[in-house]
Structure 1
Amino acid sequence: MKHLAALNKYFLSNKWRLILGLLFTAISIVFSIFQPIMVRQIFDLLSHNIDEYRLLSDTSLKGFFRSDFTHVLAFYGISILIFALLSGFFLFLQRQTLIVMSRHIEYDLKNEIYQHYQRLDLNFFKMHRTGDLMSRITEDVSRVRMYVGPAIMYASRTLFLIIIIVYLMLQVNPLLTLYTLSPLPLLALTIYYVNRIIHRKSEKIQAQLSNITSIAQESYSGIRVIKSYIQEDASAQHFEDASEAYKNSSISLAKTDALFQPTMALMIGLSVILTIFIGGIQVIDGNITVGNLAEFVIYVNMLMFPFFSIGMVASMIQRAAASQQRINEFLQIEPVIKDAPGAQAAMLKGEVRLENVSFTYPHTGITALKDFNLHIKPGQKVAIIGRTGSGKSTLAQLLIRMYDPQQGKVLLDQQDIRTIQLGSLRGQISYVPQDVFLFSDTVANNIRFGDPTASLETVQTAARQASVEKDIFGFNEGFETEIGERGVTLSGGQKQRISIARALIKDPNILIFDDCLSAVDARTEKEIIGNLYAYLQHKTAIIITHRIFALFEFDKIIVLDEGKIVEEGTHDDLLSLNGYYAELYTRQQTGEEENVTE
C-alpha cells in the first residue's frame, strides 16, 4: 500500500464524498442485517406455536389462531421487503458517492500527470517512448481508478458486513461462530500468497502494454516509411510478437485470478457444512434454537459475496499498486530545465551573448559546441551556416533554454538566461524549428497558436508576411480549413510557411529560424526573404540555414564546424576568405544556373 499512499491527498480533497459513501454503506448493511434476524424470529415463532396449533386443530379457536398467525407472517414478510428496499436505496447512494468520487480522482490524476509532462524538459522526451507516456495517463490511471472507486466500495462493504455479522453471531453462540469462521486463516494465507504473484505479474503486464502502445504509435507515425520499404509484414510481425507476449502474461494473470473463485467457494462450503453440523448438535442440546441455526446459515451466505470480493479487491489493489508505482516514479522526476530560485520576468531588447559555451547532449554523449563565443547586438541579423552536425540547431535550443550548457553562459541583454523566468523568456522569442509541427486544427488556429488572442485580420497579415496567404485562400474553407494530424493535408513548403506565420504573429524582439525554408522553391524563398527583411528591420534575427541568402543583407554571417566558429564576417568578407562559405556559395550559384538552363 506504500505506493497507493500517494493518493491520500485526493481522498482528502474528496473527503465528504468518501465519508458519505462509507456512511451509506454502513446504513445499507444495517438494513440488510434485519432480514436474517426476522427469519430467525419467524422460525422460532413457527417452532413455538406449531404444537399449540395442532392442539387446537379440533376447536373453534383454530381459525382465529391461523388468521392471527397469517397476519404476523405477512407483517414479517412486508418488513423484510421494506428493509430490502431501504438497503437497496442506500446501496444506490453508496455507488453515487464512491464511484463519482473515483471519477473526480481520475480527472485530477490525469491532469496532474499531463501538467507534469508539460513541465519536463526536452531530454526526458528523447529518453522515453511516446507509447509508454501514453500508457501512464490512460491504462495506469484507469487501474488506479478501480482502486479509488470499486475497490474502496467493495472493501468497505466487506469490512462492515463481516464486523456486524461476526458480532451478531458471537451474541448467539460463540462456539458455533468459531467453527463457522475456522476456514478463514487458510483463506488469508491463500490471499496473501496469490496477491504477491498478482503484483509481480501486473507490473510485467503494464510494461508490455506500454511496449505495444509504443510500437503502434511508431507504426502509425512512420506508415509512409513502412510502405515505401515494403515492411508491412515485418512491422505486423513485430507487433504480433509484442502482443503475443502481452497475451501470454495476461492469460497467466487470469489463471492466477481464477484461484480466488474456487478457493472462496471451498471456504464457504466448509463454513456451511460446519454450521449445519455443529449447529444441529447445538439445537439438539438445547443451546440454540432452530431460528438461530437458520439465522447462521443466512449469515454464512451473506458472507459469501464479501469473501468472493476479497479476491477481487485484492486483485484490484495489486494492479493499482503496480500502476501507481509507475505513476509515482514518473511524477518524482524533476525537470532539469526549470525556473531558478529568484528568477524574474524580463523585457528583452534583443542582445545575445554566448561566453565560453560548451554543450554535450546527455542522451547521446555527442559534443555539439566547444568553448563557443558569440555576440549579437540588438536589431542585428545573423546567419548561422554549417554542415550537418556542426552545432547550428544546438545554438537555437540553448537560446530558448531547452537545454543548459555544461560550461559557459548564455546571456540576453547582459542577463544570465537562467535568471529569467522560462515563461517570460520563451514568450519573447519566436522559434521556427527545423522539424515543423502543426496541430490537428484549422489553419487560423495553427497560426494563432503564437498568439491565441490574435484577430483573424492579424492572422491574415502574418500569413501574408510568410507568403502563404494565397495558398490558404485556395483551400476549400480558407483559414478555417482543417489540416489534419501533423498537417498531413499540406505540402512541406506550406507547413513551413504556416510555422513561420505562427512565429511572426507573436511580434517578438528576437526571432530564430532553424532551416525553415528547406521545402520551398526558389521563387517563394525570395518572396519570403523580401517580406522578412521588411518585418525584421528593428528585431534581432538568427537565421540557421544550409543555404546562402544573397538577397538578405546580414550584419554577420557565422560558419560553424564541429561546434566552433571557423569563419565570421559579412558576405563579402567571407567570399574573400575563399573558404567553406565561398565554396558553398559557388556550388549554390552553379546549381541555380543549371536549373535556369534546364
Structure 2
Amino acid sequence: MLKEFFKRYWWTYLLGSFFLIIVDLLQLIVPRVIGNIVDALKVGLNDISALKLSIISIFMIALGVFMARFFWRILIMGSARRFEYYSKKILFEKLLSLSPSFYDKTRVGDLMARFTNDVRAVRMAMGPAIVMIVDAIFLTSVTIIAMGTMVDWSLTWIAIIPLPFLAMVTSFFGKMIHNRFKSVQESFSDLTDTVEESVSGVRVIKSYGIEDLRYETLKKKSQDYVNKNMRLVRVWGMFFPLIQLLASIGYIIATFYGGRKVILGEITLGEFITFTAYLGMLIWPMMAIGWVINLIQRGRASYKRLLDILNRESEVISKDPVAAKKLQGHVIIRDLTYRYPGSERVVLDNISMEIKPGTKVAIVGTTGSGKSTIAKLIARLYQVPDGKIFIDGIDINKLPPETVRENISYVPQETFLFTDTIKGNIAFGIEDDEEERIVKYASVAAIHEDIVQFPKGYDTLVGERGVTLSGGQKQRVAIARALIKETPIVILDDCLSAVDTETEARILSSLVNSTEKKTIIIISHRLKAVRDANVIYVLHDGKIVGHGTHEELIESNELYRRMYERQLLEEKLEEE
C-alpha cells in the first residue's frame, strides 16, 4: 500500500521537503543577524541605517519562512491526508472482496478500530513524522556546521556531547513504544467491538434487563484499555523528559564554556548570542527525534494491522474462469461433502441433486441438517471442491463469483436492511429506481399494501437495520429487493419465518406466477407452503433422506410425513 502511494505522490514529499529545508536555512540567518546587531551596538553605531537594514532583513526572512512553511504544510500534510483517504478506500475495497468466512471470524469492532485509530496512526507517521525527520537530519547537520564555522568548533564539539547518548536512549525506548502501542490498539479493538455489540443489541439487553451486567463488561474493557494506555504513557512520560534533559545538558555545557570564552575574549558577545541561538535551534531536532520514534513506532504497529487485512485473500476463487454473462439456471450437485473452513464437522454428506431451469424446488428438513449451507454454496459465498456443483454444465469454481451472484437473487435467513427509505432498500440491487418496477416486486412480495399505509409510503425511513418495521415486513422488503434484480435463479433461504403460513403461501404462489422460466429454490420449515414444488428434497444430519413431490413423500418418506402431520396438528391447536 505504501509503495503504490509513494509511487504516485513522491514528488509532493520531495517538493515539501525542499520548502522545509528553505525554512531551516532562513532560520539559520536570523541568529547571525542578531549577533551582528549586538556586536555593532556594543562598539557603537555611527549610522542608524545599518540597524534599519538588519531589522528589514529579519522581517523579510520571517516573510520567507511564512511562505515556505505554508507550502510544505500543504504538500506534506496534504499528502498525509491523501494517504488517509487512499488507505481507507483500499481497505474498504478489500473488505468487499473478502468471502463471508472472513467475517465469520473477524469482529466488526476490530475492523472499525483499524479504519479509525490505525489509519490515523499511519497518517501521523506519513505527515508530522516526515517533517520531524527532515528537520532532525538537515537542521541538526546544518546547525552544527553553522555553529562551528561561524563561531567556534571546539565549543561546538563540547555542546553536542549528549547526541550519542540521545541515539542510545531513542533506540532503547523505540521497541518498548512499538510493542505497547500494538497492545493498546488491540485493546481498543476489543472496546470498540463491545460498544458496537451493545448498541446493536440494546433492545435485547433491555428486554433481558441486563443493563448492569453489560455495563460491567464494558467497564472491564474500558479499564483494560486505560491500563494498557497507562503502560504506554509511563514509557512515553519517561522518554520525552529524558530527551529534554540530555538536550539541556548540552545547553548548560555550552553556556559554561561559551561564557568563559567571551570573558577571555576568544569570541565576541554577539558570536556567543549567535551560538546560544543556534544551540536553542538544535534542541528542537534533538527533541523531535523522540517524537519521530514515537510516531514511527505507532505507525509501524498500526501499518502491520492494516497489512493483516490487505494480505488476506478471498477463499472464494475461480480456477480457469469461463466467460459467461447470462445463466439459464440449471443447477446440478454431485456427491458433495462439505465442511466449513476451520471446522472438522461434516455439514453436508454426499449430497446429490438436480434443479432444472424454470422449476420450483424446495429443500426441507430438520434443524441443522445443512439446508442453508446448500443455498450459500450455490450462491458461491463459500468455496466448494471442484467438480461438485455445476450451473448450466459449468463447474461453479470456473465461474467468477461476480457472474454467479449477478445471476442469483439470494435472500438469507438474517434479514438486513440499510438505513434508507423503503424505496431505496428495494431498489438497492439495481442501477435505476423506476417506480413501476419497485411497486411491481413489492406487490409480488406482498408488502405493497403495508407500505402504502405508512404516512410517507415508499419514502418511509426504515431506521438502522430496518428497526421501524416488523420482522415480517423486513423479510418481505428483502424479498422484493432480491426479486427486482430479475435473475434466472431465486433462492429463498427460510426468509419468511416471520409471516403467517397463508401469507407465505400467497407470496410463493405469486412468485411462481410472475417469474416465468426462473429457477426457484425455497428453503422452508413450513411444508404446507411448499406442497406445490416440482421436487422436494428432505435433509437430515447432512444427508438427503428422500426426494420427490409432496404426495410421493407423504407416501414413502416417514420423516417428511411426521414433520407434515406435526405441523398440521400445531396449526389446528392454534386455531382452537
Q: Normalised by the size of structure 2, how large is the TM-score? A: 0.96
Matched with 1:128 is: 106
Q: Deviations for 1:361-402, whole angstroms, at most 9, x for unmatched residues?
A: 124432111111111111111110001110100000110111
CA distance in structure 2 between the aligned counterparts of 1:196 and 1:499, rounded to whole angstroms: 51
Matched with 1:25 is: 20
Matched with 2:566 is: 587
Residue 522 of structure 2 is aligned to residue 543 of structure 1: yes
* Local SS of the residue matching 2:388: strand
From 435, 441, 454, the counterpart of 2:414: 435
Alignment of 1:130-529 (within 5 A): 130-172=108-150, 173-284=152-263, 286-406=265-385, 408-529=387-508
CA distance in structure 2 between the aligned counterparts of 1:34 and 1:330, rounded to whole angstroms: 49
Whether the 8 Å contact between 1:352 and 1:412 is mirrored in structure 2 is yes
Whether the 8 Å contact between 2:118 and 2:302 is mirrored in structure 1 is yes
CA distance in structure 1 between the aligned counterparts of 2:320 and 2:188, rounded to whole angstroms: 39
* Local SS of the residue matching 1:22: helix
For residue 20 of structure 1, report the CA deviation from its aligned partner: 1.9
CA distance in structure 2 between the aligned counterparts of 1:592 and 1:268, rounded to whole angstroms: 84
Whether the 8 Å contact between 2:387 and 2:395 is mirrored in structure 1 is no
For residue 550 of structure 1, report the CA deviation from its aligned partner: 5.3
Residue 77 of structure 2 is aligned to residue 84 of structure 1: no
The 10-residue stretch of structure 1 (263-272 or 114-123) with the greater mean CA deviation from structure 2: 263-272
Distance 1:269-1:466 versus aligned 2 partners, 3 A rule: same
CA distance in structure 2 between the aligned counterparts of 1:545 and 1:318, rounded to whole angstroms: 54
The 10-residue stretch of structure 1 (317-326 or 285-294) with the greater mean CA deviation from structure 2: 285-294
For residue 117 of structure 1, report the CA deviation from its aligned partner: 0.6
From 558, 561, 581, the counterpart of 2:540: 561
CA distance in structure 1 between the aligned counterparts of 2:530 and 2:561, rounded to whole angstroms: 16
Whether the 8 Å contact between 1:358 and 1:405 is mirrored in structure 2 is no
Distance 1:96-1:396 versus aligned 2 partners, 3 A rule: same
Question: Letter of the aligned partner of 2:75 in structure 1?
Answer: T
The 10-residue stretch of structure 1 (368-377 or 307-316) with the greater mean CA deviation from structure 2: 307-316
For residue 552 of structure 1, report the CA deviation from its aligned partner: 5.0
* Local SS of the residue matching 1:14: helix
Whether the 8 Å contact between 1:443 and 1:480 is mirrored in structure 2 is yes
CA distance in structure 1 between the aligned counterparts of 2:112 and 2:278, rounded to whole angstroms: 46
Whether the 8 Å contact between 2:441 and 2:484 is mirrored in structure 1 is yes
Q: Deviations for 1:73-100, whole angstroms, at most 9, x for unmatched residues?
A: 2221221122122212211221111111
CA distance in structure 2 between the aligned counterparts of 1:551 and 1:279, rounded to whole angstroms: 97
Question: Letter of the aligned partner of 2:416 in structure 1?
Answer: F
Q: Deviations for 1:543-590, whole angstroms, at most 9, x for unmatched residues?
A: 001111357521111100111110111111011115111112212222
For residue 191 of structure 1, report the CA deviation from its aligned partner: 1.2
Residue 25 of structure 2 is aligned to residue 41 of structure 1: no
Identical residues among aligned pairs (%): 38
CA distance in structure 2 between the aligned counterparts of 1:344 and 1:429, rounded to whole angstroms: 16
Distance 1:431-1:342 versus aligned 2 partners, 3 A rule: closer
Whether the 8 Å contact between 2:177 and 2:297 is mirrored in structure 1 is yes
Question: Letter of the aligned partner of 1:360 in structure 2?
Answer: R
Distance 1:578-1:357 versus aligned 2 partners, 3 A rule: closer
For residue 284 of structure 1, report the CA deviation from its aligned partner: 4.8
Whether the 8 Å contact between 1:102 and 1:145 is mirrored in structure 2 is yes
Whether the 8 Å contact between 1:350 and 1:413 is mirrored in structure 2 is yes
The 10-residue stretch of structure 1 (134-143 or 520-529) with the greater mean CA deviation from structure 2: 520-529
Q: Deviations for 1:486-531, whole angstroms, at most 9, x for unmatched residues?
A: 1000000001100110111011111111011110123322321221
CA distance in structure 2 between the aligned counterparts of 1:201 and 1:274, rounded to whole angstroms: 35
CA distance in structure 1 between the aligned counterparts of 2:154 and 2:345, rounded to whole angstroms: 76
Question: Letter of the aligned partner of 1:397 in structure 2?
Answer: K
CA distance in structure 2 between the aligned counterparts of 1:8 and 1:290, rounded to whole angstroms: 51
Question: Letter of the aligned partner of 2:377 in structure 1?
Answer: L
* Local SS of the residue matching 1:374: strand
* Local SS of the residue matching 1:558: strand
CA distance in structure 2 between the aligned counterparts of 1:341 and 1:371, rounded to whole angstroms: 25
For residue 325 of structure 1, report the CA deviation from its aligned partner: 0.9
CA distance in structure 1 between the aligned counterparts of 2:238 and 2:375, rounded to whole angstroms: 59
CA distance in structure 2 between the aligned counterparts of 1:523 and 1:586, rounded to whole angstroms: 17
* Local SS of the residue matching 1:373: strand
From 33, 51, 62, the counterpart of 1:73: 51
From 5, 10, 20, the counterpart of 1:10: 5
From 79, 82, 88, the counterpart of 1:101: 79
Q: Which runs of 5+ in 1 are unaligned?
A: 1-5, 54-64
Whether the 8 Å contact between 2:504 and 2:529 is mirrored in structure 1 is no
The 10-residue stretch of structure 1 (156-165 or 340-349) with the greater mean CA deviation from structure 2: 340-349
CA distance in structure 1 between the aligned counterparts of 2:529 and 2:462, rounded to whole angstroms: 33
Whether the 8 Å contact between 2:508 and 2:529 is mirrored in structure 1 is no
Distance 1:246-1:284 versus aligned 2 partners, 3 A rule: same
* Number of residue-to-residue matches in the alignment: 575
CA distance in structure 2 between the aligned counterparts of 1:254 and 1:551, rounded to whole angstroms: 64
The 10-residue stretch of structure 1 (464-473 or 524-533) with the greater mean CA deviation from structure 2: 524-533
Whether the 8 Å contact between 1:337 and 1:404 is mirrored in structure 2 is yes
The 10-residue stretch of structure 1 (451-460 or 498-507) with the greater mean CA deviation from structure 2: 451-460
Whether the 8 Å contact between 2:505 and 2:529 is mirrored in structure 1 is no
Whether the 8 Å contact between 2:501 and 2:526 is mirrored in structure 1 is no
For residue 406 of structure 1, report the CA deviation from its aligned partner: 4.2
Whether the 8 Å contact between 2:539 and 2:546 is mirrored in structure 1 is yes
Distance 1:111-1:93 versus aligned 2 partners, 3 A rule: same
CA root-mean-square deviation: 1.7
For residue 344 of structure 1, report the CA deviation from its aligned partner: 2.5
Q: Deviations for 1:146-177, whole angstroms, at most 9, x for unmatched residues?
A: 11111112222232211211121221322111
Q: Normalised by the size of structure 1, how large is the TM-score? A: 0.93
